[in-house]
Every structure is written in structure tokens, then in C-alpha cells.
């Protein structure tokens, strides 16, 4: 009997334990550890922050979902990982494992810029449910006493889609409330150009996003280096200042502290280097999936930024890792898998939306090209994002990871999760 532990119960961790349970006989123990009792569909948090939907709509209670499928549930915070002894400390409890999969998602590096973040700073975030609720309350207060609105990201950020969504959805909301003409919107980004998304070479994305921002009268500052923030002003390194009444700025991500405290385990940001199988190169029993995995940027930009790790990429990583562990245990006879790292991002802009597709996320090292790289605009993107949100929650309620018909649909789009 083997004991497989998954740390994190988000878009990566929860489908991965379902896939492990599907592949492994019941005599293998699977444990899911999370410091949150609820699963949250993170891509919908921009809607929550702008009071367009309730947070409850995109949350599920995890414990009953996993327990009825023979998965052990442990609510708590991992404080230590010992990859040599293969032990995890969860507060006061020590757990021994045969395999561990780290799927924690990001820790927010809010200390990267002075004044950043809702707790100790003056800006809002939409990176977790707690922050989205705070942003929602601040948005209601802002509508009662409006002023300049600033949206974007700080240097080192890696996930820009939600910032684009927030800016465009805020514009739509203000127009609906007939307040848009009283409120200026500025989009500020460390990307070298709009639509770069941390990966570059995305065909028509620059022209498309630039055109949409201009059509909605949103001021844009590209290649912007935010150096510090006061309660009502954002300061750039070129001495430019941006006054604001409400600011939503995405922070940089880093790996969790229990990984960063182990010398030599991670890179300088706490991200895990992994082999194509998902294993750490020095510890074969340690796997990583999702945001916690190290992916180096395909190019050096004037202002440092990171590479996004989308939900689709994360699901592919989880599928590959579950498959490879089942192979290691001799429960299936097959070649080892690796994720394709093909990414599709559905960004809702209100009256329209943009589908960004990069297959794979990193261009070929020699040609600088991808098999697919495109941005498509249309109202159908907004509908598709809503439909996918409900489909994903349906999957989590019913204990599915990636069912056959979802894989078939991806194949119809010319995409795949694993290879």
C-alpha cells in the first residue's frame, strides 16, 4: 500500500485527487490537505469583486466531496516539508508519505512593493476569495464616493488576464450605472505591450487588446515600473504619479514558505523545478503542479514579469502526475506522460470577450514560434466562460477530473492536456 498526499485543494489539487482515486485501487491511501474548507473557482473572482455574482456561487465544501470517494481529508496548514524523510508537518501533526504532490497555488508577494495589497497597503487584489470579498466591499464604497480608478499589475506579476477583465468589466459596470463619464480608468502594466501576457509572440493579441482599451477610453501605461504606493497615489520609477480612489493591482507570485525554507529545493521565488514527469529532479517522491511549478519566461523584458500558469495547464499537470504515480506503483502499464502546457484563457470583457490561445505556452526555442497562437474576440467568450465555470463546478461535485468528452472537445479545438 502506498500513501499519496496532495497539498492544496484548488483547481489543481481537487481534480488530481479525483484522478488518483480513479486510477488507484482502494488499498492505496490518498490524503488531501488544504488550509481552506471550500473549493473556489478562482477565474470567476473578477465578477465577485465587482458584485456581479456572489462568492457562494463559485464555492463548494470540500470535505463531503472527497470523503464519500474514499479520500482522506485534512484541514490545516502545512508548516514543514522534509523531502528526505518524506514527511509533512501539518501544524502539530506529522504525516509520512510515499508520494507528495504540491498543488498549493501561489503565495502572494504583497511585500514586493510598499503599499501593495488590502491588508497592509492601499490597493485591492482578486487573487483569492478573501481578497475578492474585500475588493467587493471597497467597490461598493467607491461607487458611493467615486474618483480615479487604476487597474493593472506590479513588476514581477505573471497573470495579467484578470487585470484586463477587471478593467473592462469595471468600465461596463460604470456605464450601466451612468457614472463612467465621471471616472477615469487607467490600466498600468509591466508588460512591454498590451497583450504580451507574460509569454509574448501572441499573434494579434497586442492589436486586439490595444483597440479594445482605446474603444472604451481606458488610458494605458505599458512597461510601467510601480515602485511604491501611498493611500491615494501610485508612484512609478520614472517619477510619474497616478492618483486613485480605487486601485486593483495584481501582485507577484511565489512558492509557499514551507518550500522556500528548504535550501536548494526551489528557485529564488520558491517555485519548484520539475522534470517532464512532474517530479522534482532531486526528490523522485516529490511532484509539483500548477502555479508552484517553475517555468522560466521565454524572453527577457525591460520590467521583470513571470509566466502565467492557467487552469488548463494545471489540469494537464495533475493528469500527468496521477498517471505517472499509477505507473510507478504498477497499477497501470503505460508510458509516462508529461503535460503539453497548452493554454487557453477565456477573458470576459462584458459586452465582448477575448479567448487567448497559446499552444504551447512557451514558443519553440529555435524558431520562436508556437503551434498555435491566436486571440479571438466575441460575445461568445463571455458565455463560454460562464458555461465552463458551471461545468467545472459540476465536475468537482461529481468527482470527475477530465472526463472523456472534455478531452474530445479539446481535441476538436486542436488542443490536448498530456502527451
The catalytic residue positions are: 159, 345
The span from the CA of 135 to the CA of 72, in Å, is 34
The span from the CA of 31 to the CA of 17, in Å, is 8
Listed residue (380, 376, 405, 408) closest to 391, CA to CA:
405
C-alpha cell at 84: 528526505
Q: Which residues pair with 353 in a beta bridge?
A: 348
User: What SS3 class is residue 42?
Assistant: helix
Q: Which residues pair with 226 in a beta bridge?
A: 236
Q: Which residues pair with 315 in a beta bridge?
A: none
Listed residue (10, 199, 213) closest to 106, CA to CA:
10
Main-chain dihedrals φ then ψ at residue 94, nearest 5 degrees:
-105, 130
The span from the CA of 161 to the CA of 167, in Å, is 10
Q: Element (H or E) spanning 376, and its range?
A: strand 372-377
Are the C-beta atoms of 8 and 102 separated by less than 8 Å? yes
Listed residue (265, 268, 295) closest to 283, CA to CA:
265
C-alpha cell at 364: 519553440
How many CB atoms lie under 10 A from the CB of residue 343?
24
Phi-psi region of 239 (alpha: psi -120 to 50; beta: other; left: phi over 0): left
C-alpha cell at 408: 474530445
∠ CA(341), CA(22), CA(293), 5° rounding? 30
The span from the CA of 27 to the CA of 92, in Å, is 26
Main-chain dihedrals φ then ψ at residue 99, nearest 5 degrees:
-140, 145
C-alpha cell at 312: 488548463
Main-chain dihedrals φ then ψ at residue 23, nearest 5 degrees:
-90, -25
CB contact burial 120-151 (16+ within 10 A = b; e otherwise): ebbbbbbbbbebbebbbebbeebbeebebbbb
Amino acid at each position: 500500500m502506498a500513501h499519496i498526499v496532495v497539498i492544496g485543494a484548488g483547481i489543481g489539487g481537487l481534480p488530481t485527487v479525483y484522478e488518483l482515486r480513479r486510477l488507484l485501487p482502494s488499498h492505496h491511501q490518498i490524503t488531501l490537505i488544504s488550509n481552506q474548507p471550500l473549493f473556489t473557482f478562482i477565474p470567476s473572482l473578477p465578477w465577485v469583486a465587482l458584485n456581479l455574482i456572489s462568492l457562494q456561487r463559485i464555492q463548494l465544501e470540500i470535505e463531503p466531496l472527497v470523503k464519500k470517494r474514499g479520500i482522506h481529508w485534512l484541514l490545516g496548514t502545512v508548516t514543514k516539508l522534509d523531502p528526505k524523510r518524506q514527511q509533512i508537518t501539518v501544524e502539530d501533526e506529522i504525516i509520512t508519505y510515499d508520494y507528495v504532490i504540491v498543488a498549493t497555488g501561489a503565495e502572494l508577494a504583497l511585500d514586493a512593493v510598499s503599499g501593495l495589497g488590502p491588508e497592509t497597503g492601499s490597493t485591492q487584489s482578486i487573487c483569492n476569495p478573501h481578497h475578492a470579498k474585500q475588493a467587493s466591499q471597497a467597490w461598493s464604497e467607491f461607487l458611493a464616493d467615486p474618483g480615479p480608478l487604476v487597474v493593472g499589475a506590479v513588476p514581477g506579476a505573471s497573470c495579467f488576464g484578470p487585470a484586463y477583465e477587471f478593467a473592462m468589466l469595471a468600465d461596463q459596470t460604470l456605464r450601466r450605472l451612468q457614472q463612467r463619464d465621471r471616472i477615469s480608468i487607467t490600466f498600468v502594466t509591466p508588460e512591454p505591450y498590451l497583450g504580451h501576457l507574460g509569454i509574448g509572440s501572441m499573434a494579434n493579441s497586442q492589436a486586439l487588446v490595444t483597440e479594445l482599451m482605446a474603444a472604451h477610453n481606458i488610458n494605458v501605461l505599458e512597461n510601467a515600473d510601480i515602485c511604491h504606493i501611498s493611500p491615494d497615489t501610485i508612484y512609478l520609477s520614472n517619477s510619474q504619479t497616478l492618483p486613485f480612489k480605487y486601485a486593483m493591482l495584481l501582485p507577484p507570485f511565489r512558492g509557499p514558505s514551507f518550500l522556500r525554507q528548504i535550501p536548494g529545493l526551489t528557485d529564488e521565488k520558491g517555485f519548484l523545478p520539475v522534470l517532464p514527469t512532474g517530479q522534482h529532479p532531486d526528490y523522485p517522491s516529490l511532484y509539483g503542479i500548477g502555479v508552484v511549478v517553475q517555468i522560466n519566461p521565454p524572453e527577457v523584458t525591460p520590467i521583470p514579469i513571470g509566466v502565467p500558469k492557467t487552469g488548463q495547464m494545471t489540469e494537464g499537470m495533475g493528469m500527468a502526475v496521477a498517471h505517472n504515480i499509477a505507473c510507478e506503483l504498477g497499477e497501470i502499464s503505460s508510458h509516462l506522460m508529461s503535460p503539453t502546457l497548452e493554454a487557453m484563457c477565456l477573458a470576459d470583457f462584458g459586452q465582448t470577450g477575448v479567448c487567448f490561445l497559446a499552444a504551447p505556452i512557451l514558443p519553440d526555442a529555435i524558431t520562436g514560434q508556437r503551434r498555435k497562437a491566436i486571440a479571438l474576440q466575441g460575445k461568445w467568450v463571455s458565455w463560454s466562460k460562464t458555461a465552463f465555470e458551471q461545468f467545472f463546478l459540476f465536475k468537482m461535485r461529481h468527482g470527475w477530473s477530465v472526463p472523456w468528452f472534455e478531452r474530445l472537445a479539446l481535441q476538436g479545438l486542436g488542443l490536448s492536456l498530456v502527451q
